[in-house]
């Protein structure tokens, strides 16, 4: 048995921290565990009994659906654009989630990104270990559960993070070879689409098209490439725990193998099924803050499955995270009838607090309510 895994698999230690350290020191991630063919998951991945007992109902209902918005004609037809803005506004004010199709990103680019993530995770483990790190200042890093040592439950996923923000521009040669070309190409398309969406959201707020862009909401972005191996006990594990996104905007690519993303709507978990060529878009906490609560950052999670691997790529737009930029409710949205709901935040301090807190415990907006 691989060195380090014996502590997890054999239950030789009842000390959770010892088990977490043993898992982390293998640098092989969750896939390293699944390669052993385990019939059961190690204890660090089992959700607390009280959490399992309080599990909310999960229904695939046709009454509640995340809208799919067709972006075709968004730049060519003024009437069509107004219709799209209205659809985006309604979705952003209600569930905070929607999918977009005909968004301008070629299917070949989407498929290439998914395949690149797959090849990275399924290559020889010694190659992956070269990128294993918990140093978040590194522009390229691989690990399992960024909050491994602070969360109640280890997440059943491995993640490759590629940052395209920060004082030092990411050198493509620093990226792993299996996904180097695909990630750079995908990133370029995400930057364009991100600004397109921020333009629609600005108009949905009754502002000029470039308002959110001029606020540097799209300055820099990060790709979080998640690999969720098949899980032998999916009813006990979690892929990504319930949370809301800390930034302004997230664009998510999912492979077609199985549904894993769920959004919390009307007290129940709703699947967001992958749409061929589609991308999931959701509002983040900072956009709820600057929109003074008009747009909604909603809680969501990723579940596990006996089918796998599920692969997703989340592109986060969080602004100039390394600077002292201050964000607060947009002045044009504040009035006597609609006073500010949130205080101002220093972005760098906000980000530091996020990384110092377990994802399941982080509720940023609660700390900044007036």
Which CATH number is 317's domain given?
2.60.120.330
Which tens digits make up the pLDDT trace of 250-288?
A: 999 999 877 899 999 888 899 999 999 999 999 999 999
Reported confidence tier of residue 167, pLDDT bands at 50, 70, 90? low
Q: Is residue 359 part of a domain?
A: yes
In a domain, 258, yes or no: yes
What is the C-alpha to C-alpha distance for residues 113 and 120, in angstroms, rounded to an integer? 11
- The count of structural domains within the chain is 1
CA–CA distance, 44 with 238 (Å, rounded to integer): 11
**Mean residue pLDDT across the chain:** 91
pLDDT-derived band at 56, boundaries 50, 70, 90? low
Cβ contacts of 177 within 8 Å, gap of 6 or more: none
Cα first-last separation, the chain: 54
Is residue 15 domain-resident?
no
Neighbouring CB atoms inside 10 A of 47's CB total 16
* pLDDT exceeds 80 at position 60: no
CA dist., res. 44 & res. 17, Å (int): 9
Task: Give the highest mean pLDDT range of 34-43, 205-214, 215-224.
Answer: 205-214
Distance from C-alpha of 140 to C-alpha of 29, rounded to nearest angstrom? 16
Q: Which domain holds residue 137?
A: 46-367
Angstrom distances, CA of residue 36 to CA of 162, 314, 332, 360:
28, 28, 57, 29
Give residue-wise pLDDT tens across range 125-140: 999 999 999 998 899 9
Average of per-residue pLDDT across 103-118: 98
Give 36's pLDDT tier (boundaries 50, 70, 90). Answer: very high
Residue 99 lies in a domain: yes
Q: What is the structure's pLDDT at 358?
A: 67
Q: Is residue 10 part of a domain?
A: no
Kindly indicate the confidence band of residue 350, based on its pLDDT and cuts at 50, 70 and 90.
confident
The CB-side HSE value for 230 (13 A sphere, CA atoms) comes to 10
Residue 353 lies in a domain: yes
Q: Is the pLDDT of residue 82 over 80?
A: yes
Lowest mean pLDDT among 199-213, 282-296, 322-336: 322-336
| Residue 68 · residue 99 · CB < 8 Å | yes
Pull the structure tokens for residue 175. 């990226």
Q: What is the pTM of this model?
A: 0.93
Q: Is there a domain that residue 18 lies in? A: no
**Strand runs labelled E in the chain:** 68-70, 97-101, 140-143, 158-163, 222-228, 240-243, 249-254, 261-265, 268-271, 279-283, 300-302, 310-317, 326-327, 345-346
Predicted confidence (pLDDT) at residue 1 exceeds the cutoff of 50: no
Position 73 in a domain: yes
């Amino acid at each position: 048995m691989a060195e380090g895994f014996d502590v997890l698999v054999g239950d030789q230690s009842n000390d959770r921290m010892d088990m977490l350290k043993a898992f982390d020191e293998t640098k092989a991630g969750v896939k390293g565990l699944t390669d052993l063919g385990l019939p059961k998951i190690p204890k660090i991945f089992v959700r607390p009994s009280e959490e399992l007992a309080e599990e909310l109902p999960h229904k695939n209902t046709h009454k509640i659906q995340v809208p799919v918005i067709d972006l075709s004609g968004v730049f060519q037809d003024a009437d069509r654009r107004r219709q799209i803005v209205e659809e985006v506004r309604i979705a952003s004010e209600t569930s905070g989630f929607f999918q977009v199709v005909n968004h301008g990103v070629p299917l070949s680019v989407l498929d290439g990104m998914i395949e690149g993530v797959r090849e990275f995770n399924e290559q020889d483990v010694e190659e992956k270990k070269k990128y294993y790190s918990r140093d978040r200042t590194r522009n390229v890093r691989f690990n399992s559960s960024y909050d491994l040592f602070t969360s109640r439950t280890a997440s059943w996923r491995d993640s490759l993070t590629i940052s395209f923000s920060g004082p030092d521009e990411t050198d493509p040669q620093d990226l792993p070879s299996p996904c180097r070309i695909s990630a750079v190409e995908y990133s370029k398309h995400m930057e364009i689409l991100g600004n397109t969406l921020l333009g629609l959201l600005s108009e949905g707020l009754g502002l000029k098209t470039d308002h959110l862009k001029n606020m540097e909401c799209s300055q820099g972005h990060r790709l979080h490439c998640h690999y969720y191996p098949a899980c032998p006990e999916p009813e006990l594990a979690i892929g990504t725990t319930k949370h809301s996104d800390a930034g302004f905007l997230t664009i998510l690519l999912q492979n077609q193998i199985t549904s894993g993303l769920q959004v919390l709507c009307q007290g129940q978990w709703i699947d967001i099924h992958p749409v061929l060529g589609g991308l999931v878009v959701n509002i983040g906490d900072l956009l709820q803050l600057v929109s003074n609560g008009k747009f909604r950052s909603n809680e969501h999670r990723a579940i596990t499955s006996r089918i796998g691997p599920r692969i997703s790529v989340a592109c986060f737009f969080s602004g100039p995270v390394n600077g002292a930029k201050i964000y607060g409710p947009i002045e044009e949205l504040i009035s006597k009838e609609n006073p500010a709901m949130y205080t101002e935040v220093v972005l760098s301090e906000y980000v530091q607090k996020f990384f110092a807190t377990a994802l399941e415990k982080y509720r940023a907006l609660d700390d900044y309510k007036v």
